[in-house]
Amino acid sequence: MPELPEVETTCRGIAPHVQGQTVERVRVRERRLRWPIPEDLDVRLSGQRIVAVKRRAKYLLIEAESGTLIVHLGMSGSLRLVPAGTAAVKHEHVDIELGSGQVLRYHDPRRFGAMLWSHAPLDHELLRNLGPEPLSDAFDGERLYQCSRGKRIAVKPFIMDNAVVVGVGNIYASEALFAAGIDPRREAGGISRQRYLRLAEAIKEILAYAIERGGTTLRDFVGGDGKPGYFQQELFVYGRGGEFCKHCGSTLREVKLGQRASVYCPKCQR
């Protein structure tokens, strides 16, 4: 599914074209997403000026004058800009028509995404208990160390817990653990402060670089401009089970952790 860099790429891609624009109309062709799109979304959003486009974790927050549209891309969703009058194709469920003549179009083949309306988005049940942003000063190795004390869970699902830090999904957790030289199967509570300091830095570096590269192209993901991300070409372990390690040449191993496939190097990671 789209992870934090993909969502940030979408946010940055659409923001300059959406902020300051007035919504002329909202067309909903399919309301049945993960949660139904509000019946009155057109009434609430039409005529409103878009004040800002922001991201919190994997949620996009499209802030209007009287409320905020919370958008989650689910497993296969994307938002992109198309010229007004562009015919919709299959799985293009929502159009937000802007005064500029462009349309912000939501595409989601699997319909696991969401579009919800809120007057206080950060207090919404989906967002209120989220941990800090990984690229903020609120997140560091000391937080990982303190949160991990007494935890017997493996370190990979631990850093994927949104209450610990948001947005470190399967791809980037795998890559960060490789960069930090930590075996993803290691018990979270048994890892030292020093190693968590390195892991936090690896998370920050890899997420920042992935954003710079436009995210990771996996199945359906494209950015807000319709172009794919390029970080996939530089993955060291994710999705490469049975292949050779780019650092040492050892065969990468694949295991299941928290119902997720996890690939690691038995020589580089301990």
Q: What is the pLDDT of residues 193-207, one digit of tens each?
A: 999 999 999 999 999
29: closest CA among 112, 106, 110? Answer: 106
- Does position 73 have pLDDT exceeding 90, yes or no? yes
pLDDT of residue 221: 39
Q: To which residue do tokens 């409320």 refer?
A: 67
pLDDT digits (tens, 9 = 90+) for 50-71: 999 999 999 999 999 999 999 9
3 is catalytic: yes
- Does position 224 have pLDDT exceeding 60, yes or no? no
- Does position 215 have pLDDT exceeding 70, yes or no? no
110 is in an annotated binding site: yes
pLDDT of residue 267: 98
Cα gap 15→29, rounded to integer Å: 24
151 is in an annotated binding site: yes
Domains, the chain, ordered by start: 4-123 (3.20.190.10), 141-264 (1.10.8.50)
The single residue of 55, 56, 58, 156 carrying the catalytic annotation is 58
Percent of the chain having pLDDT more than 90? 87
Residues 63 and 21: beta-carbon distance below 8 Å: no
78-101 as b/e: b if 16+ CB within 10 A:
bbbbeeeeeeeeebbbbbbbbeee
253 is in an annotated binding site: no
- Does position 212 have pLDDT exceeding 60, yes or no? yes
List of residues 6+ apart from 250 with CB closer than 8 A: 244, 265, 266, 267, 268
97 is catalytic: no
CA distances from 80 to 1, 28, 48, 62 (A): 17, 15, 20, 14
User: Whole-prediction pTM value?
Assistant: 0.87
228 is catalytic: no
58 is catalytic: yes
The single residue of 2, 5, 121, 157 carrying the catalytic annotation is 2
| Mean pLDDT within 77-97 | 96
Dihedral of CA atoms 97, 44, 15, 111 in degrees, nearest 10, equals -80
